[in-house]
Structure 1
Amino acid sequence: MLKTVLLQASGSGGGMQSMILFGGVALVFYFFMIRPQQKKQKDQKKFIQEIKRGDQVVTIGGIHGKVLSADDDNVVLEIDKGVKITILKSSISLEASKPPVKEEKKEDKK
């Protein structure tokens, strides 16, 4: 009878360990997957709202152009002299439109 009580008591501890492990996996998933994606979406939305005349942008399709005008939903791009296209603001890529980050080269002194 004593063995039965001990076996039942030790079995309930495994359930608690499983819950802690599941909670840990959920936290890791949140901080490495969900949170960065939310930040990226927030940055994209802010970028699209701040588009103004004269900005150089790249569309999701890879078209490079200069913003001539922008309203709530649409942007008019000049892709060459006299060639204008109207696109949706949502089709402008934040990743491709950002200027490249230049890394400073450090010279090794000998």
Structure 2
Amino acid sequence: MGSDSQPAPGEAPASQRAAVVVAHLADMHLDGTALPRLRLEAVANRLRASSDGIDMIVVTGDLVEATESPDPASDYTLIDELLASIAPVVWCPGNSDDRVLMDRRGFSDVRVRT
């Protein structure tokens, strides 16, 4: 890869490359209480309203406190519905997530949801 002043052969100068905007979210810890859900909704609204436009969302670990939430399946559904409506999402479960429930939603391991 070349520098901005000297791009590598076949590479466009930085000023001519399209920017890619990636939002990274982690440690949502939805647990059935209102505060984590309200925070997630506020973040989703901010991403949706971003003037930059979001090209991809990367969500890493601890989406739901699966052992504490009274309905972790609904929590995963909420996260999926809020974020996938904004941009493609890459999911990576954490130690507090229920991988079986995530797999049922279609986003266990590292996967892109569009």
Instruction: Report the TM-score, using the length of structure 2 for normalisation.
Output: 0.23
Q: Name the structure, 1 or 2, with higher relative contact order (CA <8 Å, separation 6+).
A: 2
| Greater per-residue helix proportion | 1
| Greater per-residue strand proportion | 1
